[in-house]
């Protein structure tokens, strides 16, 4: 089932998300729905808060962009209760976007290598290192479960330039080619 994606301005996007319990009701179904929602919107990642749930869960699929982005490996994974343990290297810039913030893109600086601890959908713990675009997508989704949006990491000038557009998204005055739920309801 395709879920509505919560748009910029929705309070859940600014909350620190809660740990996911293995007994969480219908978790398997939620994960299936999140994959479906992400692919429907042509995303490479989707986090719990983006479907209105303040849960520490996110999905990443960079397999889809492996060739275009010339990645050595792509990843397709569910990250539950993730914790980034370490980030290192020379900051690098890349143009990011977000399904909750349609039509806005901007350069975000992040560190290239991360070490992360997380559980998969079977609640098995993993500790792994990622780099490049794989790390970046994880960092972007991880920010979502920490209540942080990429637009907060843009340079001040760019932030000023998009301010009006963000307010339009909050008010639902935009068109996305997938179902969204906006902070201010129209009509």
- By CB under 5 A, name the binding residues for Ni ion: 98
Minimal distance in Å, beta carbon 98 to Ni ion?
3
Minimal distance in Å, beta carbon 126 to Ni ion?
22
Minimal distance in Å, beta carbon 187 to Ni ion?
27
Q: Which of 63, 109, 141, 152 is catalytic?
A: 141
SS3 content of the chain, % helix, strand, coil (to 5): 30, 25, 40
Mapping DSSP onto H, E and C, the string for 105-146 reads CEEEEECCEEEEEEECCCCCEEEEEEEHHHHHHHHHHHHHHC
Nearer to Ni ion, 81 or 100 (CB): 100
Nearer to Ni ion, 44 or 80 (CB): 44
What the block records as the tokens of 14 is 């600014």
167 is catalytic: no
Nearer to Ni ion, 130 or 142 (CB): 142
Q: What single-letter DSSP state applies at residue 16?
A: P
Catalytic residue positions, numbered? 141
């Amino acid at each position: 089932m395709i879920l509505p994606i919560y748009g910029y301005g929705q309070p859940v996007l600014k909350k620190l998300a809660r740990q996911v319990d293995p007994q969480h009701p219908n978790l398997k179904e939620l994960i299936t729905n999140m994959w479906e929602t992400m692919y429907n919107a042509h995303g490479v990642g989707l986090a719990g808060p983006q479907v209105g749930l303040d849960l520490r869960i996110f999905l990443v699929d960079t397999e889809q962009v492996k060739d275009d982005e010339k990645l050595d490996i792509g990843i397709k994974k569910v990250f539950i209760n993730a914790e980034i343990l370490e980030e290192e290297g020379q900051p690098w810039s890349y143009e990011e976007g977000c399904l909750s913030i349609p039509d806005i893109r901007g350069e975000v600086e992040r560190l290239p290598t991360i070490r992360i601890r997380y559980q998969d959908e079977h609640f098995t713990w993993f500790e792994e290192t990622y780099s490049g675009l794989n790390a970046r997508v994880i960092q972007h989704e991880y920010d979502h479960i920490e209540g942080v949006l990429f637009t907060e990491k843009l340079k001040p000038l760019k932030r000023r330039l998009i301010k009006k557009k963000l307010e339009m998204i909050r008010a639902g005055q935009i068109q996305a080619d997938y179902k969204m739920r906006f902070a201010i309801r129209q009509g």
